[in-house]
């Protein structure tokens, strides 16, 4: 084993329209708690100290660029011909001289964390594997690709459910579509991918079988909580994910001594920060780039948007937008204050 530290590039697949969302908006730009789906994945990469992050974009590419900004790199997939084709576009942009590890992630996985990504990268680099996959054990298995192993427990391939035999569909170890690849081993194989499958697409999963046929080292790391790896495919799942992430947000705030008497009656965006000792009363909405200091009283029936409050502030029955308020400022009741 080795502990070689290599440059790691995250390639986030974000080109699809997301037909099942029934919206012209790219799937990765649908929001949860005020934050685009793909931004959760980008933030997880930043938490894991990934060296570079690249989005593969296609549908409404300019809108994705405008929304996400310049902190990431982009490559264009003009035709959505599958996950393998998406990585081809990234490899083409990187060129033949890139020698590092490539983390491939889906852009609609809001529960992904920096800890999980770090574990995947560490396992990959410590073992010097050609490919390392994140898998999950789910029984009964969902409609994910199945991990096929040989008698020695070595991964031989991934078979998509639509292409799987009845016996293969019974396999409970599933692919989560999160990988770490050694670029030198995988990029040369991309041009050999074919489209002989049910979807007529270039499957990235076929790379695993190619590596296995070449006796390359393929490692896996199994996540104990498969829910953290689930993606979003329709608006029902989007709403369910929002409820789950709101619960996690509220729990984190309460663990930081924020007092929330009735969590069901407040709305708070994912990136809002709240200091300890602050009380948030019901029927309150806190959205956008909001920062609230310590020992504040917010609500009831209060709206804060893109606002910064110092320590000891009190805002009740009021609306504040785009303002910076100093310590111990009191607003309301029945006030409307805007910085515009």
Q: What is the pLDDT of residues 141-153, one digit of tens each?
A: 988 899 999 999 9
Residue of 162, 160, 148, 142 lying closest to 227 (CA atoms): 142
Active-site residue, from 6, 20, 52, 323: 20
Position 3 confidence tier, pLDDT thresholds 50, 70, 90: low
Question: Which domains are present in the chain?
Answer: 8-229 (3.90.550.10), 256-338 (2.160.10.10)
Six-digit token string for 69: 């900004």
DSSP state of 70: S
Give the three-class secondary structure for 287.
strand
What b-and-e string marks burial along 147-175, b requiring 16 or more CB atoms within 10 Å of the CB? bbbeeeeebbbbbbbebbeeebeebebbb
162 annotated active-site: no
How far is Cα 140 from Cα 268, in angstroms, rounded to an integer? 35
Task: Give the pLDDT confidence score for residue 290 in this predicted structure.
Answer: 97
Helix (H) or strand (E) holding 266: strand 266-268
Q: Which two tokens stand for residue 163?
A: 């292409």
pLDDT of residue 334: 95
β-bridge partners, 55:
12, 74
Contacts of 136 (CB under 8 A, 6+ apart): 173, 174, 176, 222, 223, 226, 229
Whether residue 1 is predicted with pLDDT greater than 80 in this model: the reply is no
Percent of the residues in the chain that have a pLDDT greater than 90, as a whole number? 85
Residue 2 has pLDDT above 60, yes or no: no
Is the pLDDT at 282 greater than 90? The verdict is: yes
Look up residue 44 and give its two tokens.
């997880």
User: Minimum mean pLDDT among 102-106, 149-153, 229-233, 312-316: which range?
Assistant: 229-233
| Each residue's pLDDT tens digit, 308-331 | 999 999 999 999 999 999 999 999
pLDDT tens per residue across span 109-168: 999 999 999 999 999 999 999 999 999 999 999 888 999 999 999 999 999 888 899 999
pTM score: 0.93
pLDDT in tens, 171-218: 999 999 999 999 999 999 999 999 887 788 898 999 999 999 999 999
- Burial profile 314-329: b = 16 or more Cβ within 10 angstroms, e = fewer: bbbebbbbebebeeeb
Residue that has been written with the tokens 């495919």 in this structure? 233
């Amino acid at each position: 084993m080795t502990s070689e530290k290599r440059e790691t590039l995250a390639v986030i697949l974000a080109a699809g329209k997301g037909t099942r969302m029934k919206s012209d908006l790219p799937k990765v730009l649908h929001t949860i708690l005020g934050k685009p789906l793909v931004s959760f994945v980008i933030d997880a990469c930043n938490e894991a100290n990934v060296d570079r992050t690249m989005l593969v974009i296609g549908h409404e590419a300019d809108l994705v660029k405008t929304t996400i900004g310049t902190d990431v790199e982009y490559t264009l997939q003009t035709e959505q011909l599958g996950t393998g084709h998406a990585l081809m576009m990234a490899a083409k942009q990187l060129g033949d001289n890139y020698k590092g590890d490539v983390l491939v992630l889906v852009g609609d996985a809001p529960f992904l964390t920096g800890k999980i990504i770090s574990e995947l990268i560490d396992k990959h680099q410590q073992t010097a594997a050609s490919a390392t996959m994140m898998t999950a054990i789910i029984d009964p298995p969902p409609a994910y690709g199945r991990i096929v192993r040989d008698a020695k427990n070595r991964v031989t391939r991934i078979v998509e459910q639509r292409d799987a035999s009845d016996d293969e569909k019974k396999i409970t170890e599933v692919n989560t579509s999160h990988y770490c690849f050694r670029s030198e081993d995988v990029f040369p194989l991309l041009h050999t991918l074919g489209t002989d499958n049910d979807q007529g697409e270039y499957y990235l999963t076929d790379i695993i079988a190619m590596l296995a046929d070449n006796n390359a080292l393929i490692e896996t790391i199994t996540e104990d909580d498969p829910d953290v790896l689930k993606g979003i495919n329709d608006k029902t799942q989007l709403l369910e994910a929002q409820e789950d992430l709101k619960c996690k947000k509220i729990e984190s705030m309460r663990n930081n001594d924020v007092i929330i008497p009735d969590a069901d009656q407040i709305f708070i965006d994912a990136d809002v920060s709240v200091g300890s000792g602050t009380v948030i009363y019901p029927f309150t909405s806190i959205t956008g780039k909001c920062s609230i200091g310590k020992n504040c009283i917010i609500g009831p029936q209060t709206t804060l948007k893109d606002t910064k409050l110092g320590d000891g502030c009190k805002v009740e029955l009021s609306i504040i937008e785009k303002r910076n308020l100093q310590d111990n400022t009191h607003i309301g009741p029945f006030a409307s204050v805007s910085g515009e």
